[in-house]
Chains A and B, each alone.
Chain A
Amino acid sequence: MLINRRRALALAALASCSGRYPGGPTRSSNASSILLSGSDTMVLLARRWAEAFARETRCVVQVSGGGSGTGIAALLNGTADLAMSSRPMHERERRALAARGRTAREHVVAVDAVAVYACADARLSTITLAQLAALYRGQLERWTTLDGRSNRVVLYGRESSSGTYAFFKERVLAGRDFAPEIQSLPGTASVIDAVARDQTSLGYAGLSTSRHVRRIAVGATLTDACEPQSEHVASGRYPLARPLFLYPTASAPERVQQFVAWVQSDAGQRLAEQEGFLRAIARSA
């Protein structure tokens, strides 16, 4: 549970981007391989895609992390064929690319979402981002303004080693610190389990379909609030979600286009779901 496969792979990814791993990001002359670099959030998913793609086409995709900015820089410098990014490309980066006579195509390939949970029979159904920030910053301690009870709000979240923690900290707390009282648990399932057993608690974690908890609708205002369902996530209405992108250049070789198309196919999207992300492309009937 603690040092699981995911974590071991992440470690391997770290090793690879610090250059100790022989298959690091160097421009290879091997015509049948693709160099993919960028977002650490996407590294594990990209490796799963690469494995499956290599099984089908015998085309090797070399994946390295380092962050979205690193990946886009690699695309600029020509040291990667494909960049993966958890944010859209900046205008500045597009201009730099254009100055080199190239353009990048943007493909949304998966969606990363964080949900807020309460126990199944909670009265609370919606919450604003400002209320969430006040709770997790320790400025709001009781349920009074949320559902009228005077109990203290017990808050659960993920360990600081988790990408979910970093995303929540950046998106909800604007990079400021969590209050020390926030309890951190080692996985999405642990957070769900803890929230399900405690009527005075709220927790944030990755997506889950558990019936023992209730997903709280989140929005900038209470009227905007919505649950993290595919349509709200896809339309950008749900605030705690972000699309994940692949950026090939317009002039990228055929095999790169093939890989992107495969990622967007049903098989690629199913892998994304297995890794805890949402589909970017609806299931084909």
Chain B
Amino acid sequence: MIAGAALLTVLLVVLVLAFVLREAAPLVLDHEERRGADLASLAVPRQWPGYERSEWVWQPVGEPAKFNAVPLLVGSLKIAGTAVSIATPTGVLAALALWQLDSRRARRWIKPLVELLASVPSVVLGAWALSVLATVVQSALGLVWRLNALTAAIALSLAVAPLIFTVTDDALAAVPRETIEGAVALGARRYQVALRVLVPAALPGIAAAATLGLGRAIGETMIVLMVSGNSPVLRPLDPTTSARTVTATIASELGEVVQGSVHWRVLFLLGALLFILTLVLNALAAASTRALSRRLRGDA
């Protein structure tokens, strides 16, 4: 029964991937299609008519249509990277604080409450960030753009931090009691145990948490669509500008695109790319978790 359900899930994942790849494939395989958007111009800057120099341009409606995915990938990574670098310290510190508290009663309340934050629908988080957070962040930091990558990343970190918290908490719980008691017996204080024993021992688990968080952040759509301003600018190092992510692009453009057109296929190619990226991140997280259990068993 359980094996059947697991098999069905795997089958569904494979089918989804197959569908996405099938829609994108003609772009790579079909000679006719390739003339519509040669693969190189998806990644390499070009000097388009009317432009002064070679540029990476995403402008899918117009003559000629320009499908350069680099600004979108930069946007996705910029927002997801910022979100994870906010959410990782937050989530890990929260897990450590809970451990430090060392109260079974508190744990019974606090952990489900934090996990509840993860189940807030992202459209609700997005609406809140759009009307409240964006104004606060803009006036606090004196930003030019009210809707920007940083605000989107802060909102996104609220969705990602609970995930990082939970996975980190599980990793900390997996550290054997004897290791901790040994440190205490040697006279270490509780915070010293946390920082010098617990965190190093659970490090692969924390890495797994951050990696899973990154996957979740890259795949998130609604928050970034509402809050990031969606402009395909190429400023990888400046989180205060607006950014357009791959997910938001697919969400807002796919609805009006002619089926089977070059634009349609490019959007599916981007979808396939996201899918593969998330698979890789999940595999990395799984590898870290295995490393954690090996280390805690003392094999490493």
Contacts and interface: CB of A to CB of B under 8 A. Distances in A.
B231 A169 contact: no
Contacts of A7: 255-256
B6 to A, nearest CB: 31
A181 B242 contact: yes
Interface in A196-220: 197-198, 200-201
B229 A161 contact: no
A278 to B, nearest CB: 23
B234 interface: yes
B253 A2 contact: no
A263 to B, nearest CB: 25
A185 interface: yes
B111 interface: no
Contact of B61 (A18, A160, A182): A160
A3 interface: yes
A251 B295 CA distance: 87
B193 interface: no
A161 B146 contact: no
Interface string A174-195: 0111101111111000000110
Contact of B252 (A2, A151, A152): A2
A11 interface: yes
Contacts of B63: 175
Classify the interface of chain A: helix, strand, loop or mixed: loop
A160 B253 contact: yes
A45 interface: no
Nearest to A151: B144
B258 A186 contact: no
B145 A177 contact: no
Interface in B8-51: 48, 50
B230 A161 contact: no
Interface in B39-77: 48, 50, 57-63, 66, 71
A7 B62 CA distance: 20
Given A180-B234, A183-B231, A161 B257 contact: yes
A250 interface: no
B144 A161 contact: no
Interface string B220-240: 000001100111111000000
A35 to B, nearest CB: 22
A19 B134 CA distance: 45
A194 B255 contact: no
A275 B144 CA distance: 34
A169 B63 CA distance: 11
A160 B181 CA distance: 61
B179 interface: no
A14 B258 contact: yes
B66 A186 contact: no
A165 interface: yes
A159 interface: yes
B182 to A, nearest CB: 55
Contact of B62 (A11, A175, A184, A198): A175
Given A183-B147, A183-B231, A169 B61 contact: yes
B252 A159 contact: yes
Given A166-B61, A197-B135, A10 B256 contact: yes
Q: Which of A180, A185, A198 has the most CB of B within 10 A?
A: A180
Given A177-B50, A177-B57, A178-B59, A183 B230 contact: yes
A108 interface: no
22 contacts: A7-B256, A10-B256, A11-B255, A11-B256, A14-B259, A154-B145, A160-B253, A161-B61, A161-B252, A176-B50, A180-B234, A181-B233, A183-B145, A183-B147, A183-B231, A184-B244, A185-B229, A185-B230, A197-B131, A197-B135, A197-B146, A198-B146
Given A165-B61, A185-B230, 6 more contacts: A166-B61, A177-B59, A181-B242, A183-B231, A184-B230, A186-B225
Interface of A: 2-3, 7, 10-11, 14-15, 18, 151-152, 154, 159-162, 165-166, 169, 175-178, 180-186, 193-194, 197-198, 200-201
